[in-house]
Structure 1
Amino acid sequence: MPEATSPYDVLVIGAGYAGLTAMHELKKAGKNVLLLEARERVGGRVWTKRFDDGSYVDLGGAWVGPTQDRLYALTNEFGVDTFKTYDEGKSTQFFRGQVKRYKGLIPPLPVGALLSLDAAIKKMNKLSKTVNLAEPWATPKASKWDSMTLATWMNQQMSFDVARQFFKIAAEAIWAADPAEISMLHALFYTKSGRDLDTLMNIKNGAQEERFVGGAQTIANRMAATFSDQLIFNSPVKAIVQTGDLVSVVTDRQTYQAQRVIVTVPPILQNRIDFQPLLPAQRAQLIQRMPMGSVWKCYAIYDKPFWRNQGLNGLAATPDGHITVTFDNSPKDGSQGVMMGFVLGNQAKEFSGLSDEDRKLSALHSFATFFGQEALKPIRYLDHSFMDEEWSRGCYAGLMGPGVWTTLGPSLRQPIGRIHWAGTETSDIWNGYIDGAVRSGERAAKEIMMYDV
């Protein structure tokens, strides 16, 4: 084991929004803290890719919306502006070989299917209100909901295949997973965590209402600049060793010691750390059973947002092809047209098997189907998947399949000796979102400050 440093009060592992927030709070409290990050950058699953011409795209988390108060607080504290996501004009639906344009939130589906879809959304919102966010396993009927998948519930609720198809599109966009992979209890928990399905799905008054001028990583960069001398990059943690009153954190280059440690990396990556003594069986089982979501973001950049001239808002949905949902991700001033398409769930797994060129052809074909032949000639195309990133292995967040919340949920946030847990997966409010990550960092910092560190 490399020689150890003098002990810190706290070591924080992972410089995503959870780790940065924990660091920020502990620094304000006067603690001697060090932040270790495996990558060469901060932000974690929030990454703003910049180009030589000054333009940028968000390859990870990108939006902020109503009730995401902790993220808005950081936005104000670090002087980052936001702007409304473009949604003026008609939305687009491609279904059964036909392109249809429509105004408002209601897609042009057959009446029976539409009523069935609406009833299922209302029912899920109602059921989600019964969830105990702090202790989902204590929810009334928790065992019932945790014994089935979201897909099972959907099949019970909606007799119309069309309704199920469009509910599935929304579910994949919300969880980056197939409904058959998610526990119904987890779906209800997540829905209440972000208010309701309407909030999670919508732009106006929803989770996608605003974006950040300069990209979503801007706040992270500004936070990190305030403690750059206490942030070490390229330092993956190999082992965490608890002995007596100290915790040793081992990297390839150095061993660091502290009175307490906050681990903020996704649960699935905690399997790569050698914990000594071994993690308790419940914790070990939990992190084995929280796979990450599956998603690609596909970007086509044009010299202008040409779809706006057609009276379109850039929103599209379809059950066909790889890309099933699109958003207008153009800059605030509309100086370029940036079309973003999501490839989600099982489609994302299939997409990962394609060559670079075939992924591009598939994405541009989808954009052209929605918005016309002009979409085939972008000035730049790129796509990205956090599934291929060593220090994420997926996005948006770790998910709970059937049986996990009710049998292993209590160990999600429970400290183990001097090790504390953060990350958006541990948040009871806005779980899976940047705001959830921020809240988890604040909670972990408060836990630490309860002790005489």
Structure 2
Amino acid sequence: MNPSIHYDAIVVGAGYAGLTATHELVKAGKTVLLLEARDRVGGRVHTQHFDDGTYVDLGAAWVGPSQDRLYALAHAFGVETFKTYDSGRSTQYFRGKVKRYKGIIPPLPLFSLLSLDAAIRRINKLSRTVNLAEPWQTPNAQQLDNLTLADWMQGQMSYETAQTFFNIAVGAIWAADPAEFSLLHALFYIRSGRDLETLMNVKNGAQQERFVGGAQTIADRMAETFRDRIVFNASVRAISQRDDAVQVITDFATYTANRVVVAIPPVLQAAIQFEPALPLQRQQLMQQLPMGAVWKCYAIYDRPFWREQGLNGLAATPDGHVTVTFDNSPKDGSRGILMGFVLGQKAREFATLSDDERRKSAMHSFTTFFGPQASTPQRYLDHSFLNEPWSKGCYAAVPQPGFWTSVGPALRQPVGRIHWAGTETSDIWNGYIDGAVRSGERVAQELLSRS
């Protein structure tokens, strides 16, 4: 790419936010350069393909109701979706016993179940008070932001079993433990994705469908429409603003543009040298947004044998490293693929294990849930974005308590010629691919309104 060209815009990061921003700006006739530190597009969405045609999503994978912007992209680029398999009975492993059940109500003691249901209803009701566009303007925002979600759980559920299973859901939704983020952020995130049931469920929920060919397929096809505008292996080291332009400096070249879109997680933004220095509130913001922690563990079989037993592949347990599983088999069921999540603090513990120890732990969980047939997969693999230098975690940033009311207003606020995108900046479907797409559309409109 020619560094002598003066671009209308430079976009940093080729995840769904950066790709969408680039796509919208190119459609508007702007000269755009997209810089990506990796050798691929997609960011925290990464589909791994094998020679036999099998594929797994190492990062984000699902799409569900009201994720309209992602559905629109899938349609525009000819990517088909299919229902996540959830027919049959789910599995619970608790206190040394495996239980099978139908529907979404787990087989818990009655009073624990009532306590859990009441807590879900209360947090949904409370989430409806959140100001999505400006969470710091929510009634009692300061108090809500100083409390952790764990604090709230202690006050709402007197039954330990109810807290245990609420905690499993928290890990699966946020890839974090409830003591790590504020009640205000929990409420914001819940409302951003409609309600807690939507975030938890497969049917009518955020896990309702997957993409034929994997979730990276849309990103790949979008990138093909402006491949000549992308520079790979181009990690941005510095961004320097002048009155009339902005320079973006990589290891190998310096590029100049009217404006720059930074579409990478805030924790990575902190590694860029900004000249002049960013406002203090923005600097503090980048220090208060650590990433979630998650591993995906995959066991691939010749067929989804659990379906023959009337099981849907969904399982939950507080025990072991893998606490939640899904059936991630392809649409035609030509392979059986179980996917297990390791989440929050357990994910950080999992990261300290050897490859063999991780496999043994995950396979022990799969075998406990689904019987001896699960013990001999054709292939096992696991993956985490924790150690990837261009993500440092997944699914998304998890704001520390006090974040929203202290530095939240700086999240989307442009700094001179620098604009911010990424799923963390979205008020709708924050933390999801759809949120990333929405942020790319928003930031493109910001630039176009100033041109």
User: Which TM-score bucket, shorter chain as reference?
Assistant: over 0.9
Query: Is 1:379 aligned with 2:378?
Result: yes
Task: Tell me which residue corresponds to 2:438.
Answer: 439
Correspondence list, 1:120-269, <5 A: 120-269=119-268
1-structure distance, mates of 2:269, 2:413:
15
What secondary structure does 1:180 align onto? coil
1-structure distance, mates of 2:86, 2:387: 31
- Structure 1 partner of 2:326: 327
The Cα of 1:245 is off from its aligned counterpart by 0.8
C-alpha distance in 1 between matches for 2:254 and 2:146:
43
2:44, 2:101 → 1: CA distance? 33
Alignment of structure 1 residues 384-403 onto 2, 5 Å: 384-403=383-402
Could you tell me how far apart the structure 1 residues matched to 2:321 and 2:4 are? 50
Q: Distance in 1 between matches of 2:257 and 2:139?
A: 41
Aligned equivalents of 1:410 and 1:444: distance in 2? 16
**Post-superposition offset of 1:6:** 2.1
> Does the alignment pair 1:345 with 2:344?
yes
In the alignment, the residues of structure 2 paired with residue 4 and residue 65 of structure 1 have an alpha-carbon distance, to the nearest angstrom, of 41
- Equivalent residue letter for 1:384: H
Looking at structure 2, the residues matched to 88 and 220 of structure 1 have their Cα atoms a distance apart, in angstroms, of 30
Residues 352-396 of structure 1: per-residue CA shift (max 9 Å, x gap) = 000000000000000000000111100000000000111000000
Mapped partners of 1:27, 1:224: distance in 2: 11
- Once the two structures are superposed, the pairs formed by residues 265-276 of structure 1 within 5 Å of their partners are 265-276=264-275
Residue in 2 that maps onto 1:68: 67
Q: Distance in 1 between matches of 2:72 and 2:107?
A: 39
> Equivalences for 1:363-378 in 2 at 5 Å?
363-378=362-377
SS of the residue corresponding to residue 122 of structure 1 reads: helix
- In the alignment, the residues of structure 2 paired with residue 146 and residue 451 of structure 1 have an alpha-carbon distance, to the nearest angstrom, of 34
- d(CA) in 1 for partners of 2:106 and 2:53? 37
Q: Structure 1 length as normaliser, TM-score?
A: 0.99
Q: Matched residue of 2:394: which SS?
A: coil
Take 1:375 and 1:179, find their aligned partners in 2: how far apart are those partners? 31
Equivalent-residue separation in structure 2 for 1:151 and 1:7 (angstroms) = 50
Amino acid at match of 1:74: L
- Give the whole-Å Cα distance in 1 for the aligned partners of 2:74 and 2:192: 21
Cα deviation 1:134-169 (Å, max 9, x = unaligned) = 000000111111011000000000000000000000
Local SS of the residue matching 1:241? strand
1:42-87 per-position Cα deviation (integer Å, ceiling 9, x unaligned):
0000000000111100000000000000000000000000000000
| Cα offsets for 1:321-346 (capped at 9, x unmatched) | 00000000000000000000000001
Aligned residue in 2 for 1:424? 423
Give the secondary structure class of the aligned counterpart of 1:387: coil
Distance, in Å, in 2 between the alignment partners of 1:398 and 1:198 is 21
Separation of aligned partners in 2, 1:24 and 1:169: 38
Q: What's the secondary structure of 1:353's corresponding residue?
A: coil
Q: Does 1:109 align with 2:103?
A: no
**What residue identity is the alignment partner of 1:400?**
P
**Counterparts of 2:141 and 2:167, CA distance in 1:** 23
Q: What is the CA–CA distance in structure 2 between the aligned matches of 1:261 and 1:401, rounded to whole Å?
A: 27
For 1:319, give the aligned amino acid.
Answer: P
Q: Secondary structure at the match of 2:386?
A: helix
Q: Distance in 1 between matches of 2:210 and 2:82?
A: 5
Aligned partner of residue 143 in structure 1, secondary structure: helix
Question: 2:330 corresponds to which letter in structure 1?
Answer: P
Measured against aligned partners, the alpha-carbon deviations of 1:218-261 in whole angstroms (never above 9, x if no partner) come to 00000000000000100000000001210000001110000000
Deviation at 1:298, TM superposition (A): 0.1
Q: How many residues align?
A: 451
Give the equivalent residue in structure 1 for 2:411.
Answer: 412
Give the counterpart letter for 2:223 in structure 1. A
**Alpha-carbon separation, structure 1, partners of 2:278 and 2:25:** 25
Q: Measure the CA separation in 2 of the matches of 1:317 and 1:245.
A: 56
| C-alpha displacement of 1:4 | 4.6
How many Å separate the matches in 1 of 2:400 and 2:106?
30
State the secondary structure of the residue aligned to 1:104.
coil
TM-score by length of structure 2 reads 0.99
Structure 1 Cα separation of the partners of residues 418 and 4 of structure 2: 18
Task: Quote the Cα distance in structure 2 between the aligned partners of 1:72 and 1:397.
Answer: 20
Q: Distance in 1 between matches of 2:395 and 2:69?
A: 19
Unpaired segments of 5 or more residues in structure 2?
Answer: none
Alpha-carbon deviation of 1:405? 0.3
Local SS of the residue matching 2:382: strand
What does residue 18 of structure 1 align with? Answer: 17
The correspondence of residues 280-295 of structure 1 with structure 2, limited to 5 A, is 280-295=279-294
Query: Separation in 2 of the partners of 1:244 and 1:411?
Result: 21
**1:314: Cα distance to partner?**
0.2
Aligned mates of 1:388, 1:276 — CA distance in 2: 28
One-letter code aligned to 1:338: I
Question: CA separation in 2, counterparts of 1:255 and 1:59?
Answer: 33
The percentage of counterpart residues that share the same residue type is 70
User: How far apart in 2 are the matches of 1:287 and 1:238?
Assistant: 16
Q: 1:164 to 1:409 in 2, by over 3 A?
A: same
Inter-partner Cα distance in structure 2 for 1:328 and 1:6: 49
Q: Matched residues in 2 for 1:156 and 1:427: separation?
A: 30
Shift of 1:266: 0.2
Cα distance in 1 for residues equivalent to 2:329 and 2:415: 45
Give the whole-Å Cα distance in 1 for the aligned partners of 2:91 and 2:4.
58
Determine helix, strand or coil for the equivalent of 2:210: strand
Distance 2:257 2:399 in 1: 32
Q: Which amino acid aligns with 2:151?
A: T
Amino acid at match of 1:323: V
Q: Which runs of 4+ in 1 moved over 3 A?
A: none
State the shift of 1:423 in Å.
0.1
CA drift of 1:304 comes to 0.5
Which residue number corresponds to residue 58 of structure 1? 57
Q: What code does the residue aligned with 2:192 have?
A: S
